[in-house]
């Protein structure tokens, strides 16, 4: 996931590019980084999780308030026939 974000952010060269390159290096399966202190990994996991959540939250477009529709309430006399056409 971090690699996809790195490719996506490569042209902008923003904070996200650097952050997710570091995440990609720390969590890569080919050359694993061993931090033997479990509390340190827990803190890193929480920070990385929050970064992913914030990044994807900023990608979602904000909802725009729709203008409520007005309904025309003119009363028209409907003929009393067997088959009516509803407009």
Summarised one tens digit per residue, pLDDT across range 13-67 is: 677 778 888 888 888 878 878 878 888 889 989 999 998 888 888 876 777 777 7
**Looking at the 3D structure of the chain, how many domains does it have?**
1
- Position 72 in a domain: no
CA atoms lying within 13 Å on the CB side of residue 13: 0
- Position 80 in a domain: no
**Residue 49 confidence (pLDDT):** 92
Taking alpha carbons only, the member of 64, 51, 53, 58 closest to residue 20 is 51
Range of the domain at 36: 2-59
Phi-psi label, residue 13: left if phi above 0, alpha if psi -120 to 50, beta otherwise: left
Task: Using a cut of 0.85, tell me whether the model's pTM lies above it.
Answer: no
């Amino acid at each position: 996931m971090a690699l996809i974000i790195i490719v996506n952010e490569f042209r902008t060269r923003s904070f996200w590019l650097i952050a997710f390159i570091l995440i990609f290096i720390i969590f890569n399966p080919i050359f694993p980084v061993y931090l033997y202190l479990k509390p340190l990994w827990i803190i890193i996991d929480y920070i990385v999780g929050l970064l992913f959540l914030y990044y994807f939250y900023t990608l979602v477009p904000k909802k725009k308030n729709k203008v409520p529709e007005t309904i025309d309430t003119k009363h028209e006399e409907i003929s009393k026939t067997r088959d009516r056409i509803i407009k």
